[in-house]
Every structure is written in C-alpha cells, then in structure tokens.
Structure 1
Amino acid sequence: MVAGGLDGEDPMKVHRRMATALDDALAAIDAAQAAARSGAGDARPAWPLIILRTPKGWTGPKVVDGEPVENTWRAHQVPLDSVRENPEHLRQLEQWLASYDPVALFGESGEPAASLAALKPHGDARMSATPFANGGRIRTDLRLSDFRAHAVDTAGSRTVTASATHGFGEWLADVIRDNPDTFRLFGPDETVSNKLDAVFEVTDRVWAARLLDTDLNLARSGRVTEVLSEHLLQGLLEGYLLTGRHGILNTYEAFVHIVDSMFNQHAKWLEATRDIEWRRPISSFVYLLSSHVWRQDHNGFSHQDPGFLDVVVNKQAHLVRISLAPDANTLLAVMDKALRDVDTVQVVIAGKQDQPAWLSMDEAEAHVQRGAGAWDWAGTPGSPDRDDPLPDVVLACAGDVPTLETVAAADIIRHELPEVNVRVVNVVDLMKLQDQREHPHGFTDDQFDELFTTDRPVVFDFHGYPSLVHQLTYRRHNHDNIHVRGFQEKGTTTTPFDMAMLNDIDRFKLVLDVLEYVPGLSARHPDAKASLQERRDAAREYAYTRGEDHPDITGWEFGQG
C-alpha cells in the first residue's frame, strides 16, 4: 500500500490517498485477526505496510535567502531563524502559516471550528483516557502462589548448594500458570541458559513464523517471548506494562547495556508521569540479570560487565531498586517483593550456578525486609577476653560470588587468626548504602554506623565496579575506612576462582586486606602474608595446568577453614 507525494503534488490529493491506504490497512488487519481468532487456517498473515513518501520540509518555504530548503538538510534546521529582524523572513512565515488556512479551522477566539470539534474523541476514546494507554486503570495484582513452597531446605546447615535461578524458575512457572492473561516472560533466547526452563512445563514460546517438526516449545500461543534483540524485548515489555499487565525481562548481565538508553527513557517517563493525577500506577519493570560477570566459564571477557548498576543508580532514587541475591532462598523473597511493586524499575542480579544456600527461608525473608544485616553465624568472636564490643574489621559483601568469598575469608580468619573479631555484613538491597535523605530505602546515619561502625576498617567485596560503593557511601562517617574490592575490568575464559583472583575479590586477597588494615595484626602474624600468597599462587597454577579449580576451592564448605 502506497500513500505518497512527489515534489509539487497537491497535498490534499496525498491526504486522500493516505486516508484510503489507512482504511485498507485496518481492514486487512481486522480480517487477519478474525481469521486467527476463529481458528481458520494456520497461515502466517502478510501484515500491511504503508509507505508514505514526501519531500523533507514539504509545504514549508521552498527557498530562503536564495538557498533551497525543501527536500534538503536545511529543512531539518530552523528554516526562518530571524523573523524578528528580517521582514522578508516574517513575510515568508506568514505565507507559510496562512497556507494551512487557519481562518477555516479556528474562529476569531482561537477555538476550533465546529467541523473540527465534531471529530474530537470523547470519554475513553481519548488517547489520554483509554485504559489501554493508561494501563493502571485496568491493572490487577498478580495472583502469586506461596514462593516458600519452592524454598531450598537448608536442613539447619550452611553447606547445602542450589541454583538460585533454577529454584526461582520453578516458582515462575506457578506465576505464569496462575496469571495466563496478564504475565509474560521476555528474554533473548536465554530462558534455558539462565535455568528458568521450568516455565516450559506450563507454557511455550510464542511463535508466529513457520513451525518445524524439530522445534521445541514453540507454539502460536505462549507466555514466553524470545527474540535475539534486547531492544525489541525492552520495548515489548514496556508496552505490556503500560497496558496494565506484568512481566520480567531476563538476560545476560553484560548485554543489558544494549538497552541503556531505553531504560533511561522508561525511567524518565515514570518520573514525568509521577505527578499527573489521572495516570494510575503500572507494574514495575523487572530485570533479572544472570550469567553474570563472575560466572562466565565458557564465554569470557566479552560477557563480563556489571556496569548496568552504575547506569541505574543515576536515575531518581524513588524510581530504582537494585537487589543482589546472595542465594536461592533470598532470590525467591526478592522476586516476590519486586513483582508486587509499582512505578519502579527493579534490577535483580542472581547467579545460575550452584552456590551455597546460606539462609533458611525464614532467614532470607527477614534479610530481604532489612535489606542488609550482619550474619552473626559467619562472623568470628575474636579473643574471649576482649572488652571491646565492636569488631576489629567488617567484612561486607553484595552479590553471590562476593558473598561466597567473604564467608570463606571469615572462615580462614576464624581458624588462622582467631583473636580477630570479624563482623560479616551482607547487603541485598544496594540502595541501603545510600543516605536515607537521598533514597527512600537508605539507612539513616545511625543505622549505617551501627552496622558498619564509625571507625573500624571495612573490606567490602562487591559484585560490580568498586567506585559505585564509594559513590553511594561518600557521605557516611566511616567512608575513609571503606576499602572496596570489585570488578577491575580484568577477565578471560578461565575458571571461576581464577576470575575472582584476577580482580582481587577472592578469599585470600580479602584476608590479606584484613592483615593490612587491622592495626598490629600483620606484625603478630609475620608469616601469614606469605602463606596466603602461596595459596593464591598454587590455586592459579592448578587452574592453568588442569583447566579447573583446585578441590580445596571447589570442595570448600563453611566451617572447615
């Protein structure tokens, strides 16, 4: 279908041709939808395409100051830029505006003529009023089954392992089953890779193209939308939320950067509509980022980038939430909370590989409610005769792999530096670090000081770039004592523990930091530094010669040192 106008063609003729083409296109769409809904045939319809061809700057001044404007780059600028000073420019502007015949369109008072008013939509037919453009009017809460049914049974220990995303995927299947018309999962062909494949027990991937006998989980209807285009998925989920429904976009952490600008625009839209009284809240945009920077055994440096967090925290604080789930049960509690929220962007990071299930379900829920807290079971009491109620050092962590390395570091200290009192602090809600005056989830200064102290060294093992923790805590009383380990933009296709060592977030490096920052500790243990470095070197040598991590690393369990 073509509706076009070449240079010099009467605009009214083009308008009529465009109207005819639009009517024909809508009729073709109606016919295709009717056929699909009646079940008549399985053919993929050929959707209509309208091509409108007109000169750039059409109907405006063709020539200004002797230079051509219409159909040139000048039409994209301000064609008449000095109408206040240049009488000829003013005359051309008047001629241009008069060509639209405003006298016939508006009365002397400036109100639209009756012929125009009759075309005006009323009630829900108005663009701003239709519930399909103001989806909050028709949004309903998700029916969420009890996520606790999919909890990992820790059996009272800290040694059970589980895949966080696998467990979440089982609950996600329940969510899709119980909300068959209001929830969709979006992802760039990574549902199985990110271990969410339990959803295929209750739904399929939606697919409109040709179906082959060898296809798996493809169907004309399905609640999983997969296409290898993060841009398209972002736009689809935004539209789905704006029409009053719910969804999740899951993707590899490194490639969510592809939609940085689209995330920015969605956040800006949320901010701009915040104070519009008639616009109702919509479901929050939920990102689940897995296959993250610390677990890319088969992909390498190209797939290692945690920097989306830095983009997100720069938006208005009330719009963004960042959760770094340290284990499987915590991810379930985080997602239950995220899927109930409105008018925010929720960024959730969780690994797909088996990791220790540190917390029971009850502990995980309480931890998510607090957002951050001391794990007393992971800390060390230090000398039994000490009078100081404060720890000698705080080992803080955010993210599943940093948490593993932090707990392992504390365990080494418990066995090899027993006089050191260590407090282990895990942060699941990253915005807790920010001042409460800056973010609604932030700790007050008193709360932050109670957890991190005002004068003790803090060694913070972080999932992302170290500068982000400093950005969030720069106002805190103890900021000068906060030493952050994180991604240093060093990576390759290597073993998980070597990846940690390349970026100095590993357990041995953390204990070396404790030796450096706790006054007098290194002098009391003169051989400790060399011993720790030897173990680091041995772990690297083993990984490079065997292609896998040393059994002392892969087989480590809490409590063994």
Structure 2
Amino acid sequence: METDSTTQKHLTANELYLIDAYWRAANYLSVGQLYLRDNPLMRMPLRFEHVKSQQLGHWGTSPGQNFIYAHLNRVIKAFDLNMIYLSGPGHGGPAVVANTYLEGTYSEVYPAITQDETGLKKLFCQFSFPGGISSHASPQTPGSIHEGGELGYSLSHAFGAVFDNPDLIAACVIGDGEAETGPLATAWHSNKFLNPATDGAVLPILHLNGYKISNPTVLARISHNELDQLLRGYGWTPYYVTGNEPNLMHEAMATALDEAINHLQQCQFAARHEGDTTRPRWPVIVLTSPKGWTGPKKVDGKPNEGTFRAHQIPITISATSPPEHLTQLENWLRSYKPDELFDEHGRLVPELAAQAPRGNRRMGANPVANGGLLLRDLHMPDFTDFGIGVPAPGSVLASDTQVVGQFLAKIISDNQSPRNFRVFGPDETLSNRLEAVFGVTNRQWMADERENDQFLASSGSVMEMLSEHQCEGWLEGYLLTGRHGLFNSYEAFIHIVDSMFNQHAKWLKTSMELPWRRKIASLNYFLTSTVWRQDHNGFTHQDPGFIDHVINKKASIVRVYLPPDANCLLSVMDHCLRSRHYVNVIVAGKHPAPQWLTIDAARRHCTEGIGIWAWAGTDDGAEPDVVMACCGDVPTLETLAAVSILREHLPDVKIRVVNVVDLLKLERNTAHPHGLSDADYDALFTKTKPVIFAFHGYPWLVHRLTYNRANNSNMHVRGYQEEGTITTAFDMTVLNELDRFHLVIDVLDRLPQLGNRGAYLKQSLKDKLVDHHYYITRHGKDMPEILDWQWKS
C-alpha cells in the first residue's frame, strides 16, 4: 500500500519541525558516538584531539533507525501503545543508545551518563571503546531483548515476545541484509501462528537501504512488484515509504504508521470482539531510504551516502588521513544544528524532550524488555506424583519421555490462566513421545485446517514449526519477556541452533553483570531421539556433540544432565524448569528401557548429581579393583550388563559402579559451581584404580573434564566414535565399542592379575561379538540374550 503525502497530512507544520529536529538530535548523537571523545556539543572548532584515535562502529543503518524510532514515539503517544523495539540490522547500537538517551531511560539506568554536556561526553567516549559498550544493541542497552551481533533472529524474537502478551506490539526493524538469512526469511511465516485474540502483534519494518558491507542487498534490487508479491505471498499487507527528502519522508512515514496501527488494531478488534477467526493479513512497513542518510555525500571524491561506503565509518580521522577529513566531519556534525537541539547545559530542549513517551511507555523503559521484572514462578506439581514404581532395579520397562510427558501436561494445565509456559519444537513432540501434552492442549495454528488434522487450534501451548531457528527464536523471545518454556528436539539436529545458543548464552552471561537486568527463566533444551536409538534413521541422525558445544560457555551459565531413567528425568526436569538464568541441556531416551531407581532414590541421586550405586557393585565399602562409571541411559544399561557378566564369571573382582547425572560434576569445583572437590572426586573414582567410563557422547569430553584429576591416567572412556548406520540398537553400541562385551574386555585388559581366568572370559566375549554380527545380518534384530536381558541382583 503506497502512502501519498500530497493528499493526506498527518503532521502539522509544528509537528513536522519537531519530529525532524528529534531525528536530527538522534543522528547527531549517533555520529558523536562514532567519532567524538571531547567537544560533545561542538562549542568550539573541532580539533584532532577531540576525535577518538580509533573510530569503530556502523553509521549506515543508524539514520534510518533513528527515523523509525522518532516516528514510533509519535504513534505510541497518539495511540497510547505498549511497544518494544527490536533492532535487527547489524550493529545498530548508535541509534538505539542515542534514542534511549534522548528519552531519558539511559540516564536512569546509568546515572553517570547524565542529561548534560558532561553526560554527553561520557556517552560518546564509552561507545566501541575499551571498558565501554559494544556497537550493537546488547544486553547493556535499555529496552533491548535482541542481541544484534548476529543477523537473522529479530523477527522470531519479536513473535516470541508477543505470544500471550495481548497488549504488546513488537516493532521489529529488519535490515535488508538480515532479510537474506534463512532464519529471517522463514520467520515471515510466524504470522500463521499468531492468535489476534490472545497474543499481541508484531509490526515488521523492513528497512531497505540497499547495501551490506560491500554488496547490494537482494530485496533492494528486485522490482517493486516482485517485492510486493513476495510479502503478500507470505501473508502480509505492505505499506511503502520511499524517498530521501526529509519533509516528504516524515509525512509519508506518519501516514503509513497511522494506517498500519489502525489496521493492526482492527485485526485485533475483529478477533476479540466480533468473533472473527480469519487469519489476519497483518501490516508490514517497507521503508526505503539511502544508506547513511544525512551523512556526507562524497568522501575523497567518491559517492558515500546511498552507497556501501556509508556502511561503517564514512570518514576516517587519523594522523595520516587528509586534513580536509576533519573539516568534513565538523561540517557533518554541525549540519544537525546541535545548538538548536540542546540548551546551554547540554540538555535536550524541552519541546523536543516532550516528543518521547513518558514512563514505561518509553521503548527503552518498557518492563517487558527486562523480562525478569515480570517473571512469575511456574505452578509446579510435585514431580514425585508422576514417578513410576520400580520394585527392583531393572524390573520395569518404560519410555522415559512418555513418563515426563505426563508431568509436562500437568505443568501446562496448571499454568494456563494466564498462560505462562509453552513447549516449542520442530514437529517432534509426538515423535519424542510427549503425546500426553496433547491431552490438555493443542498446537497453536492459524493457517487452514483439514478434516484429518490432529491437535490443531487457534490457541495452544505447543508451538511447532519445522524450523529449529524459529522454535529457538520464539522461545528466546518468550523467555526474555518474562515467561517459561521448553525446547524439545532430536539430539542430532539441535546443532542447527548452535549459533543461536551461543548468542543467548552470551546474553545471559553479560546480563548477569548488570544489576538492573533481572534474571529470566532458563533456556531448557530437552534432547531425545538420541544417537544410540537412531537405528532406523542411520548415520545422519547420530550426533551427540551439542553438549560439547554447550560446555564451551561460561560455567556460571551452562548445565548438562543425562538422567539414566524416567524417575531421574522427572527430578531433573523439575529442577531445570524451576531454575533461573541458565542454559540447561537434558538428554534422555524415548524408547522403552529398564528403570533403575525408585522415585525417592532418583530424587536423592539427582540432587547429588553423581553417586555410587551400591546395589550394583561388589566392593561393599572396600577398595575396588575397578570403577565402572556411566553417564546416560544407554551407557548405564550397557555398564550394568557388563557388571552382571563380571559378577557371574569373576565374583571375586571388587567392582564399584558410579553413575553420573550432572555431567559437570566431573569438573573441579574451582572450574564449575557444580564440580567436585578433589577429595570428593577421589573418594568416588579412587586415585589409583582403573576406571572404565561409558559415556553418552564423544569420549574426549570426559577426558577434557577430568584431565587434571589425580587418576586421569587410569581413565578409559568409551562413547560415540562417529560410527553409525541403519542397524539394530545394540549394534550401534558394538560399532562404537560401548557395548557390554567391549566394556568387560576393557576391564580384563586392566586387571592382568586375573591371568587365565581373564583370558578365557575375554575369548568368550570376542566370540559373542562374532555371533552378534552373524545374528543381526540374518535376522535383522538383536540376539534374544540382548533383547531379553534383565538385571539380577
């Protein structure tokens, strides 16, 4: 929809002057942050020593974002909107910081950055400066829930923010470079999941300024008709604002925003008061403006404004740069007429300060963007009520995820009014055997429905889209605005969001250092369909390496849990959903498997995170001959099966069984808050005895966590060795030498005192491995002794 400023006047002459002056003030502050360390109001001629020795940051996106922010301020006041701002373009920090300073929020959060000349100098000096702030909208930026260091996630974050926030509008500025990323391109489809009756609204503002660092952008180089068809094909109604003459652009933007807000509110009114269940075609604004708008037209004889050269620092100032650069920078700064914008003390003049909304209506002060302020505890049922009976270790088979699904269903039903908890996943909630949740809720879905569809409704607590990026982005937006959630996924494909996890972990780490940021609910990953039970999908679905990636992050942020059975999974899930400001990774299987601990024993074991299973071992409090350690459900099964072989054939060997639920217990307590002291670690693993460690993931992760322990030289780890195919479940362990037979052979190799007894047992186990291969290649299933094996005390 085109705006026509010649037939509609949404701004009076005075309003036009004031909004333009406010925009000039934000532009001036943006340039000042890039360049100045002194003379912040240009009260004296600009000298070389007034300029930072290194100019770092990005100018190109800033004037367009300043323009948008000024106009959003106007509609917030005109319509009394509850709105937050997401800065999607890369390194838009100068604009967001400038605007939160102008509205007063920045000085309230950081009292040293005062609303005067001294404060302006500090504001300028700190930007992209050692000990200062970064060049993008980071956690230090008031009003931000979106880390601008990596592109692609702004729109999914915006939608996550407005789910179950019916009064909220998330204004999301999307850079045309960012629009080329896969996650952003997919995020346009989020409108098929937004319920206008119960959710808020997202107002995307696609900012076309034509260039990335040095390349043109795709959406700026296709025809207007093609772009229009693209957006309408995604299900949006576009409003266009195009040009470079400020007065005309202000009028056009005011018109477009007024029409878009009216459109948006009409969609909500129809759904909330007229019972209209039609999926809205929500508004999107397309702003086309020059890159580096209002900046220098040319630098060194080459065009700058409107070209890729405006992307970062248009004019370099150094001891070797041409002298005219300093003059050109001075002229650029003075073109904004700072003497008209700031009074003699350096404060924004009152009539311009009045352009910003007041109190929490300011986008930088909106409490939704500091979600910990709004966070309410979940209503949590007693997880022990969902435990399964285990009369004796291994006597019961159950699917761990099916059991925890009943617990999650109760959490969903207990947190519906208002909804405070959602489950996110890429079309895998049923596959991961969490079907119990569909007894109390549905998948939220606003697109067409057909007769044989299942569990679809306009409102539901399960969000599924076959894009890990969207699920992660929605969940992050949901958490950052003060709610709770869970991401369930196949283990191998959670790698798709490796980089998104990185950014969120960095956000949590940085925000912990800011006293004004409040803790939010933890980001909880529930990984199942694991490496060891992908016998029908094969090698492509076999990768347990996400936990390696997670453990690279700060110890204050990350936690990794591998519960061995359903009751332990219940205890771990309860703990993680109650926690704050962590990234928790839970890895558990979905296939029926032996259950080892009663619910009370599981509660104790998981609280401790690691422990000796005395019922499985034979050391009986004495010094063991060997320690059999295990971490993960399949490694636990294979370890106990190996122990049963040793107990039968070598009853005099003293075996200690140690099970690990909390993986980071293996680290030193000086490296991780969950880590064991050397004394406690040695009490479990001994200082001198061989340790055969069966691990769910890549073996070297255990070596990395225990490398400096006293008994490290005796630590032998079995885990995934990047061997896999479509095969039987047990054969997956054989291929990677994690199976019970290889584990027993590992023990025999480290107990030479067994002599011939060990040699004969070893030979029989090698024979078993030959028999195993022969059997599966002829029958397509594991040997009966594997399928029917049970633990016997």
Asked if Structure 1 and Structure 2 have the same fold, meaning a TM-score greater than 0.5 normalized by the shorter chain, the answer is: yes
Given the alignment of the two structures, is residue 557 of structure 1 paired with residue 790 of structure 2, yes or no? yes
Find 2:290's aligned residue among 55, 65, 68: 55
Judge conservation of contact 2:241–2:285 (CA < 8 Å) in 1: no
Given the alignment of the two structures, is residue 88 of structure 1 paired with residue 88 of structure 2, yes or no? no
Specify every segment of 5 or more residues in structure 2 that has no aligned partner in the other structure, as ranges.
2-238
Residue of structure 2 in register with 1:42 after alignment = 277
CA distance in 1, matches of 2:336, 2:752: 80
Given the alignment of the two structures, is residue 399 of structure 1 paired with residue 637 of structure 2, yes or no? no
Residue of structure 2 in register with 1:379 after alignment = 617
Q: What is the SS of the residue equivalent to 1:339? A: helix
CA distance in 1, matches of 2:467, 2:605: 35
Residue of structure 2 in register with 1:25 after alignment = 260
Judge conservation of contact 1:5–1:11 (CA < 8 Å) in 2: no
Q: What is the SS of the residue equivalent to 1:317? A: coil
Judge conservation of contact 1:393–1:458 (CA < 8 Å) in 2: yes
Find 1:140's aligned residue among 347, 363, 376: 376
What does 1:72-471 correspond to in 2, within 5 Å? 72-82=307-317, 84=319, 85-180=321-416, 181-381=419-619, 389-471=622-704
Residue of structure 2 in register with 1:474 after alignment = 707
CA distance in 2, matches of 1:287, 1:208: 26
Distance 1:104 1:76, change over 3 A: same
Alpha-carbon distance, 1:68 to partner:
2.6
CA distance in 2, matches of 1:268, 1:103: 40
Judge conservation of contact 1:80–1:89 (CA < 8 Å) in 2: yes
Runs of 4+ in 1 over 6 A off after TM superposition: none
Judge conservation of contact 2:341–2:348 (CA < 8 Å) in 1: yes
CA deviations on 1:303-358 (whole Å, 9 max, x unpaired) are 11111101111111111111001001100011111111111111100100011111
Find 2:752's aligned residue among 519, 541, 545: 519
Alpha-carbon distance, 1:119 to partner:
2.5
Residue of structure 1 in register with 2:127 after alignment = none
CA deviations on 1:153-204 (whole Å, 9 max, x unpaired) are 1123422110000000011111100001111111110010000011111111
Residue of structure 1 in register with 2:18 after alignment = none
CA distance in 2, matches of 1:334, 1:18: 51
CA distance in 2, matches of 1:133, 1:534: 63
Q: What is the SS of the residue equivalent to 1:231? A: helix
Specify every segment of 5 or more residues in structure 1 that has no aligned partner in the other structure, as ranges.
383-387
Alpha-carbon distance, 1:252 to partner:
0.4
Q: TM-score, normalised by structure 1?
A: 0.95
Alpha-carbon distance, 1:144 to partner:
1.2
CA distance in 1, matches of 2:775, 2:757: 30
Alpha-carbon distance, 1:298 to partner:
1.6
Judge conservation of contact 2:638–2:739 (CA < 8 Å) in 1: yes
Alpha-carbon distance, 1:398 to partner:
0.5
Judge conservation of contact 1:164–1:354 (CA < 8 Å) in 2: yes
Q: How many pairs were matched up?
A: 553
Distance 1:130 1:445, change over 3 A: same
Judge conservation of contact 1:522–1:528 (CA < 8 Å) in 2: no
Q: What is the SS of the residue equivalent to 1:294? A: helix
Residue 460 of structure 1 aligns with an amino acid whose one-letter code is: F
CA deviations on 1:100-143 (whole Å, 9 max, x unpaired) are 23222222432212122213343322345433112222211111
CA distance in 2, matches of 1:128, 1:156: 58
CA distance in 2, matches of 1:454, 1:549: 38
Residue 391 of structure 2 aligns with an amino acid whose one-letter code is: A
What does 1:472-511 correspond to in 2, within 5 Å? 472-511=705-744
Judge conservation of contact 1:83–1:93 (CA < 8 Å) in 2: no
Residue 482 of structure 2 aligns with an amino acid whose one-letter code is: G
Residue of structure 1 in register with 2:301 after alignment = 66
Residue of structure 1 in register with 2:166 after alignment = none
Residue 52 of structure 1 aligns with an amino acid whose one-letter code is: L
CA distance in 2, matches of 1:410, 1:236: 45
CA distance in 2, matches of 1:203, 1:522: 62
Judge conservation of contact 2:487–2:524 (CA < 8 Å) in 1: yes
Alpha-carbon distance, 1:98 to partner:
2.4
CA distance in 1, matches of 2:448, 2:502: 35
Residue 754 of structure 2 aligns with an amino acid whose one-letter code is: L
CA deviations on 1:428-467 (whole Å, 9 max, x unpaired) are 0001001101111111111100001111111111111111
Residue 397 of structure 1 aligns with an amino acid whose one-letter code is: C
RMSD of the alignment, in Å? Answer: 1.6
Residue of structure 2 in register with 1:385 after alignment = none
Alpha-carbon distance, 1:522 to partner:
4.7
CA deviations on 1:216-240 (whole Å, 9 max, x unpaired) are 1100111110001111111111111
Q: TM-score, normalised by structure 2?
A: 0.68
